[in-house]
Structure formats: C-alpha cells, structure tokens
C-alpha cells in the first residue's frame, strides 16, 4: 500500500471538482479517473456495486441509463444485468466519456449533464445514479430529468456515499481524520445527501422503496481511504493549514498504520430503489 500515487487530484478552494466539469483540465481529469481505477481494482468496492445493482428489477429487453457514468465502470456492470439489452452512460466531463468509450466500446456513452438529458420522454426502463448525486449542486433537477426519461413503471436505482460518516480515526482527535474531513470537503458537494434521498425522490414524483445500507470497511491492504488521506493532506497544505514537515509526518503515519495492520477506514454507503408511477397512477 502507498498513500501517494502518480496521478493525484490537486485540491483547490473551489469545492467539488465533479461539480465544476467545464473548469477541469486534462491533468485533473486524469487524476480523478485514476481514483476511479483505485475503486475498480478493490474487490470490496466491486462487491458493494454488485450488491446494490442486484436490486435492479429484471425487465425483458430493458434499456437502462447511467447518469454520471465517469469512465464507464458501473455502466459495464449494468450491461451485464439480466434482461438488459442496452446500457447507456452519460457524463458532463468529455475526458471521462472518452475513457469510457475506450473501456467498453460496445456501449453507448454521451457527454451530457444529468440535469438536462438529451433523450426523449419515457425512453428508458431504468435509470441508475452511482455515487453521482452527491456531486450535483441541484439534485432535484437531475431526479426530475430521470423521471422524465423513464417509462411508466420504470425504476430508479440510486447508490451513494453517506460521506459525512467517512472515518479513519482510531482514537479521539486523530490527525488523520482531519485529513479525511478536508478531502471530503474538497471532493463532495453534499456529504449528507443520502439522509435526504427518500424525500428528494418522493418530491420528484417517484414511489420510493427502502433505503438500504452498504458498509465499506478497509483493514487489510487499504487503498481507497489512504488515497483520500493524501488528497486531504494536499488540501491542508495548499491552504497553509499545515506545514510541509507536518504533511510528510501525516503521510508517514498513514503508511505506518497500513504496514503494521493498524489501519481502519469506513464509509457508509446506501442504495434506494424507486419506481415511476404506472400509467394511470395518481
């Protein structure tokens, strides 16, 4: 394990980079894409993805849209679901869409903002948001667009992090927790979004089901949360909150915990399955 990587998102004071798609340069896009690959290589993350995707109803010849597809990792899994004959992914960041097309050339990927989808009304059987809505400044608009493009009775499947729960602390006043908190502030627009999901979905005209918890824990061979610690260290150093020697010490502590088997990290994810009303429903 290493807490630093060759491609590392350089945080700024401008907030969530995913919410600022038009401002990102090639280096930032590559660095953020590298974070996707860390998650994709983690069997614990992939197990959570398959768990939440297993909630998708099986519909014959289904056409399913993933909004905020990134580099196409989840879209490829959606395409493997029983009954799915076409999986489409959209993302507002052109660099991500190009990487997605290279990853899965057989699938369709388009550059589009989830708040203004380039699809006809009632043209999909399912819409999936996977760790996307927490990055959208106006999630109500994205959910409204999902409602518009779904056929009557179609399903909405949302999976997102309750990022306010993210922790690496092993005791009170753990300095590495400060790093993670700084990373969340710079990477996630709304870390409390999951706690409002049922109401948001209902207000958008859906019939929401149960909110299900999916816990992510890193103990052995940690990778994702150490990378988040590094993002936080960079943010704290960029804001002059910590000195370069302190930054070095924090990275060394994270590395030591990983090497000695003392690392602990946890994020509570959640999924919500909802449906568009059937034809004739009030």
pLDDT tens for 128-181 read 999 999 999 999 999 999 999 999 999 999 999 999 999 999 999 999 999 999
With contact defined as beta carbons under 8 Å apart, do 124 and 95 qualify? Answer: no
Listed in sequence order, the DSSP H helices in 81-207 are 94-103, 139-149, 175-187, 197-203
pLDDT tens for 12-32 read 434 788 888 778 888 889 989
**Quick one: average pLDDT of 212-216?**
97
pLDDT tens for 228-270 read 999 999 999 999 999 999 999 999 999 999 999 999 999 999 9
17-162+189-216+269-275: which CATH number, 2.60.40.1930, 2.60.120.10, 3.40.630.10, 3.40.50.150? 3.40.50.150
Q: In the chain, what are the domain boundaries?
A: 17-162+189-216+269-275
pLDDT computed for residue 15 by the predictor: 72
**Quick one: average pLDDT of 214-219?**
97
- Evaluate if residue 5 carries a pLDDT over 60: no
pLDDT computed for residue 279 by the predictor: 76
**Quick one: average pLDDT of 35-58?**
96
- Give the chain's mean pLDDT: 93
SS3 content of the chain, % helix, strand, coil (to 5): 45, 25, 35
């Amino acid at each position: 394990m290493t807490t630093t990587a060759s491609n590392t998102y350089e945080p700024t004071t401008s907030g969530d980079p995913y919410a600022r798609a038009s401002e990102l340069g090639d280096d930032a896009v590559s660095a953020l894409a590298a974070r996707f690959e860390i998650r994709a290589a983690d069997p614990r993350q992939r197990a959570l993805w398959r768990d939440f995707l297993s909630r998708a109803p099986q519909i014959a010849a289904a056409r399913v849209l993933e909004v905020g597809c990134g580099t196409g990792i989840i879209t490829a899994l959606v395409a493997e679901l029983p009954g799915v004959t076409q999986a489409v992914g959209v993302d507002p960041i052109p660099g991500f869409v190009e990487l997605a097309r290279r990853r899965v050339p057989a699938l369709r990927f388009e550059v589009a903002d989830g708040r203004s989808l380039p699809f006809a009304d009632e043209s999909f059987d399912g819409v999936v948001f996977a760790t996307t809505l927490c990055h959208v400044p106006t999630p109500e608009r994205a959910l409204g667009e999902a409602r518009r493009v779904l056929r009557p009775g179609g399903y909405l499947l949302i999976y997102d992090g309750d990022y306010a729960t993210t922790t690496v602390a092993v005791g009170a006043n753990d300095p590495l927790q400060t790093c993670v908190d700084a990373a969340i502030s710079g990477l996630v627009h709304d870390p409390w979004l999951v706690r409002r999901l049922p109401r948001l979905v209902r207000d958008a005209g859906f019939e929401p089901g149960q909110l299900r918890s999916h816990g992510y824990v890193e103990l052995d061979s940690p990778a994702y949360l150490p990378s988040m610690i590094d993002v936080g260290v960079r943010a704290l150093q960029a804001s002059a909150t910590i000195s370069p020697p302190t930054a070095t010490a924090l990275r060394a502590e994270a590395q030591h915990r990983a090497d000695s088997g003392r690392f602990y990290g946890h994020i509570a994810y959640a999924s919500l399955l909802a449906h568009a009303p059937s034809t004739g429903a009030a």
